[in-house]
Chains A and B, each alone.
Chain A
Amino acid sequence: MKPKLLAICVAFFSMYYTQLHAQGSISGNLETTYQYLVSDSAIGALQPDEESLVNSYMNINYRNQGFKAGVRFEAYLPRILGYPDRFDGAGLGYRYFGYENDLVDITVGNFYEQFGSGLIFRAYEDRALGFDNMMNGFKVNLRPYKGVTLKTVYGRQRFSFVGGKNQYSPAIVRGADLEFNLNQWFPKLSEKKFRITAAGTSGQVLKKNTGTDYDYSWMADDGGVGGDGNNYTTAGSVTGENLIVSRNGLSDVTMDLSTFALDSDLGSYASLSADNTERIYHLTSLLHTSRSSAQWESTL
């Protein structure tokens, strides 16, 4: 390349680079929990060989207008007391890149997402409980019109972190969720203190049938419960969510997990579906789920 041209190119690039440089931003954080174990003769406890336990997490995120990317390093050396036994080692636990604006949100790599109340699909992290079933794949969310949200996910879920590496489930999870917030279309509803959303989801868990081994990894949905109700001052709320689960695309094994709860004060909620969620764990091979829900809440 001619030297003059090269110089011009580099000069142009360095000026442009400054603009780019000034707009992006890096942020991060570090969280460490350290426990030192001691002997206690009163209860006959002996100090183990490792003497101390540590959990450490470091996040680094980069944002440049709509573009986003980040990593998280995790260390369990060894894991602290009370943490589930599927965490071990130190290494890269989370990495992603993507683009987000008002219309579209694309993420490639590891991500978290929730469909509706989360009963059908929820990939989330609850670090204090040692729970993290992040997805490894991609997600595409669209918001084409006010009140309309379309979410799609594809990938495999993490169920443990062993030897400093994420262990992903053999099953592939894919799904789409379309939600309409009717309050955006009919503002009079908000004035009358009603909140109505209508949604439908179709999701599948695909797994090769390899015998009688059950794999609970893809539906470790501890937090998701359908059907909450609450007393808002003097009135109540009614939530209904209807789920249909079928196996092998056939309707011979179908579960209708309709949850309907009308609840009263003090914020208690009815976990009608907790029982039924257990039954989902025992299905293998092709699993379909779909949901439709309408939520009506009223305050007086």
Chain B
Amino acid sequence: MKTTIIASLTALLLGSGLAFSQEEDKGLLDKKVPEVQIKDTDGETINTGKLENDGKPIIISFWATWCTPCKKELNTINDMYIDWQDETGVRLVAVSVDDERTKNRVVPYVDSKAWEYQVLLDPNGEFKRAMGVNNVPHTFLIDGEGNIVYSHNNYAPGDEYELYDKILELVESEDE
């Protein structure tokens, strides 16, 4: 009798514990940006888990100099970047997965297009693997707390509007 009471009490506790965690967040399915150490174009090591934007959203976009849709996507967003920043305060981090053969093309390309993004280099795919990216382009939207709330693979013209809608949703829900 005693053991059944204790067993049912502990089951209740465990169950309520799980329910509690589900109310607060999705528990195990809540994804945060993993902490991976990669370099930026100045050679400085950046911890990806510590990327932050004052509680405002961050876009992390994986690209490569040999990937035409990636360049199209980032150039299109670049045209609207100032407006996006004024309206939502969003920041974009462009992670290049170029390996040693093409890594040296990154800075000339970024300079030629005058991108205002923070560019990180991932030549051995460390951050790419940790984020579960199989091919580029792959774009993620991170909320103010570092949770990954949206991800999109491949690019077709118009996808940037879908991304922007998601950013607006985030900003509006944070205002409430």
Q: Give the B-binding residues of A (Cβ under 8 A).
A: 3, 6-7, 10-11, 14-15, 17-18, 21-22, 24-29, 31, 57, 59, 61, 63, 66, 68, 100-102, 105, 112-114, 117-118, 122, 124-125, 127-128, 141, 143, 146, 149, 181, 183-184, 190, 195, 197, 223-225, 228-233, 237, 267, 269, 299
B residues less than 8 Å from A183 (CB atoms):
42-44
Least CB distance from B102 to A in Å reads: 7
Contact of B111 among A102, A112, A232 (CB under 8 A): A232
Could you jot down 24 A-B contacts, CB within 8 Å? A10-B13, A10-B14, A14-B13, A17-B17, A18-B20, A21-B18, A21-B27, A63-B34, A66-B35, A68-B130, A102-B47, A105-B37, A114-B123, A124-B99, A125-B125, A183-B42, A223-B101, A228-B100, A230-B108, A231-B108, A233-B112, A267-B102, A299-B107, A299-B111
A residues less than 8 Å from B54 (CB atoms):
none
Least CB distance from B99 to A in Å reads: 6
Contact indicator B43/A195 (Cβ below 8 Å) = yes
Nearest B residue (CB) for A100: B35
Contact indicator A26/B28 (Cβ below 8 Å) = yes
Least CB distance from B98 to A in Å reads: 10
Contact indicator B129/A112 (Cβ below 8 Å) = yes
Nearest A residue (CB) for B108: A232
Nearest A residue (CB) for B42: A190
Task: Digitize B50-85: 1 where CB-to-A-CB distance is under 8 Å, 0 elsewhere.
Answer: 000000000000000100000000000000000000
Contact of A25 among B31, B42, B104 (CB under 8 A): B31
B residues less than 8 Å from A232 (CB atoms):
107-108, 111
Contact of B132 among A28, A124, A141 (CB under 8 A): A28
B residues less than 8 Å from A10 (CB atoms):
10, 13-14
B134 in contact (CB, < 8 A): yes
A residues less than 8 Å from B118 (CB atoms):
none
Contact indicator A117/B28 (Cβ below 8 Å) = no
A residues less than 8 Å from B101 (CB atoms):
223, 225, 228, 269
Q: Give the A-binding residues of B (Cβ under 8 A).
A: 2-3, 6, 9-10, 13-14, 17-18, 20-21, 24-25, 27-32, 34-37, 42-45, 47, 65, 99-105, 107-108, 111-112, 123-126, 129-130, 132, 134-135
Determine the distance from Cα of A299 to Cα of B126 in the docked complex, in whole angstroms.
28
Given known pairs A14-B13, A122-B124, A184-B43, the reply for A22 and B108 (CB within 8 Å) is: no
